[in-house]
């Protein structure tokens, strides 16, 4: 099955700093999504981005499908950005997703 690797596994930032999270996947996909899991466990969908670039406020994401990677950019980080960021990919009917292990982000004030 598809393998999903995320880096870095842990990241500590000072408030206001920028960061880039990376997701590598082992096969072609028709679905790629980024999620944020807040400290209370709720998973929030950030981007549906099987290819191309999208932006939503301070967050943006780019997927280069031909090279099998995706990047999530966080600019001007805030303490509320803390949590775990997951990349998930899918390639089969029904669009079940395979999740990476996540990047734990801690933003300090």
Partner 1 sequence: DVKVTQSSRYLVKRTGEKVFLECVQDMDHENMFWYRQDPGLGLRLIYFSYDVKMKEKGDIPEGYSVSREKKERFSLILESASTNQTSMYLCASSHDSGYGYTFGSGTRLTVV
Residues making contact with partner 1 (CB under 8 A): 1, 30-31, 33, 35, 40-45, 48, 86, 88, 90, 93-102
Cβ proximity to partner 1, 73 vs 99, nearer residue: 99
Cβ proximity to partner 1, 11 vs 77, nearer residue: 11
15: tokens are 């408030």
Phi, psi for 102 (deg, rounded to 5): 95, 160
- Closest distance to partner 1 from the beta carbon of 98 (Å): 8
- Closest distance to partner 1 from the beta carbon of 33 (Å): 6
Cβ proximity to partner 1, 42 vs 78, nearer residue: 42
Burial 76-93 (b: 16+ CB within 10 A, else e): ebeeebbbbbbbbbbbee
- Closest distance to partner 1 from the beta carbon of 11 (Å): 17
């Amino acid at each position: 099955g598809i393998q999903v690797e995320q880096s870095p596994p842990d990241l500590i930032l000072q408030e206001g700093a920028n960061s880039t999270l990376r997701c590598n996947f082992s096969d072609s996909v028709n679905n790629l999504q980024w999620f944020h899991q807040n400290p209370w466990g709720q998973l929030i969908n950030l981007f549906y981005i099987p290819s191309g670039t999208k932006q939503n406020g301070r967050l943006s994401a780019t997927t280069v499908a031909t090279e099998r990677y995706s990047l999530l950019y966080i600019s001007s980080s805030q303490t509320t950005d803390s949590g775990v960021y997951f990349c998930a990919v899918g390639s089969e009917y029904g669009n079940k997703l395979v999740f990476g292990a996540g990047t734990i982000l801690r933003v300090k004030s």
